[in-house]
Structure 1
């Protein structure tokens, strides 16, 4: 099942939660329960966010290099793609090792 909704940037937290719980015909089909992967892309295309529930990971892409640098320098939850790949990509695999695949050709 695929669900989608549009919302404005000034949406309140209550309105956002209401959209996630919207009943599309069967209560268990609400995005709140059925979404394994979520993506957010604004009409400005200045950023995008993607997250996967089972891997408990989310990524955000920004087109503002200064903001990216500031977020990474904050030493909080933000990191660049290379660091995230090195630190997290192996976590769901046996012995935390990713099987390397050869490129075709």
Structure 2
């Protein structure tokens, strides 16, 4: 079981589920932020940094480049069900940032 979890990259799935479903649900339903804070700071800056870190981590650990797709896809699907639909436009941005961080990172 441990080898299977390592192979599928369970940390990326867990982080992506938290960032793509749980946090948008909490922000949309339980906490009232202004649109500038919600979209600009959280989705625009914080999630972009998280996508870059995930791209860097995938490269650093020598895993398949397909792992960088996990966050943008789960984010887009999660927002379709629980968040503001106009924020799904950030998903391609996260993919580009993760891919850029992946490409610019030096492998061990």
Same fold (TM over 0.5): no
Shorter-normalised TM range: under 0.3
| Larger helix share, 1 or 2 | 2
Q: TM-score, normalised on structure 2?
A: 0.25
**Bigger RCO (CA 8 Å, 6+ sep):** 2
| Larger strand share, 1 or 2 | 1
Q: TM-score, normalised on structure 1?
A: 0.26
Give the greater-gyration-radius structure (CA). Answer: 1
